[in-house]
Structure 1
Amino acid sequence: MKIGFIGAGNMGGAILKGYAPFAERNGDKIFVYDKKEEVRSGLEEAFPAVTACGRETELVEKSDIVILGVKPNLFETLLPEIADVCTTDQLIISMAAGIRISLIEGYLGADKKIIRIMPNTPAQVGEAMTAICRNGNVGEDDFGHALAIFNSIGRAMEVEESLLHCVIGVSGSSPAYTYMYIEALIKAAQANGMEASKARVFAAQAVLGAAKMVLESDLSAEQLRINVCSPGGTTIEAVNCLFENGFEEKVQEGFQAAVDKSKSMTK
């Protein structure tokens, strides 16, 4: 497969870097265009499977799958530029928050195969969570190619487009909330005498292990939490303190703020 990335910033770059080793093993070719020449050349030098392109249209003409990684406010400029070189055989994948499939169809044509995704930045370490939705032109074979790309950098699941606002709250933006939690643990450990480098590892590994247990256990997250809390022990003391201070409610409020912002941005 020939896979093109238009835009290689935080998210597009994370997906490209995560997928590049798989592409090399699989014999896929990756094309990249970014407005910053140093980004293009840097990716070309770093990954044997990557070839830089000088224009967006050049990339589209060379690619079987085109992944649009530019910011949402650039779509109304980008889509008319590439419309004439997009074909009905290609798969167009957008990761822009707030840009509906119907808007992309309006520029590229209702006959085009269009997928919309909502990934997150852990793609760069092979642990992304990506939501995928598609229009009616995308058959199972094409959808299978998209799933293969995003499953190679973590996990991918199909959802209805109407759920992408929710996805932003639960996985698209939530790494930032998790970093805040880890940062708070690190600061608390330092305040109790642990050096920052060790606190970083202790806190991050604890979060990684807890997340893995949620994914691999048949128990609910609630039951896993209960199982750790021995009566009269240290964990129940901490959990009760967090409950009393509205920990769950504050996380849910942050989640909802991301969802509401996504809805307000939608075109």
Structure 2
Amino acid sequence: MNNRAPAGVVAGVDGSVPAAAAAEWAAQEAERRGCALHLVHAVNTGTVTLSPRTGAAVTDLILREAQAVLDEALGKLAAAHPELRLTGDVVPRDAAESVLTAAEHAELAVVGTRGHGGFASLLLGSVSLRVAAHSRCPVVVVRGAPDTGNHILVAIRDERDGETLRFALREATDRRLPVEALHTWSPVVADAAHMAPMIDEVGEEARLHAQLLRNTVEPVAEEFPDVRVDARPLTGATAATLVEASRRAALLVVSRHEPSPHFGLRLGTAVHAVLHHAHCPVAVVPA
């Protein structure tokens, strides 16, 4: 049983509706990229409390049922995408670990919002969060109404987000869509009584943020002359602005920066927010 996928797109499946939507999105993405799609179905065979004979029988039953789930997913995708190269594995391990291992050499990993193991009330399952937080390759969490938007939305914080923008531009090229590069910032204003003396300072701050956005976007956009890029600096809370803007997007692309050595959080608060509340699929790109 090989749980290390070839280069291409990897998707986690478990028979749930969100996982099926993610697998279909991954199939379309693999077709656009001209690469293979590898499905991973992870199952917990935890039978250590049973007798050896009973435990072996239960493990065999779990694995056979898991194989049936995987075969059904592969069959549906093969019927819908007859030219797509499809492979798949049942992996008796933790779900997030299985997807991460399979995607070590992949171009992209794709997961749904939650699977059978999560509570229906949760907006995003722990498996999806763990994969998004630790994957070496970009991860797409499929949520909302996939591919109904008319552009690719990418969040730009600073010059470190060049590779994230490059990912968004590649997606836009494959889909023949424009890109909106959004940079949000919040002016530092103590109180209304002191607004007048600060007008010049706020104006200078706005100019610097606009310059930062241009310096980040223009060099990368030159690599994709056929893609229209609209760079917009906006004031306001990053998470709320991105979530609202995602209503009109086919895909929202955000960066995952290295965690602070003091806090160790692998996903920032804005990324957490969009993963839970965005209205379209979200791509998390390691920066």
Q: TM-score, normalised by structure 2?
A: 0.35
Higher helix share: 1
Higher relative contact order (CA 8 A, sep 6+): 2
Higher strand share: 2
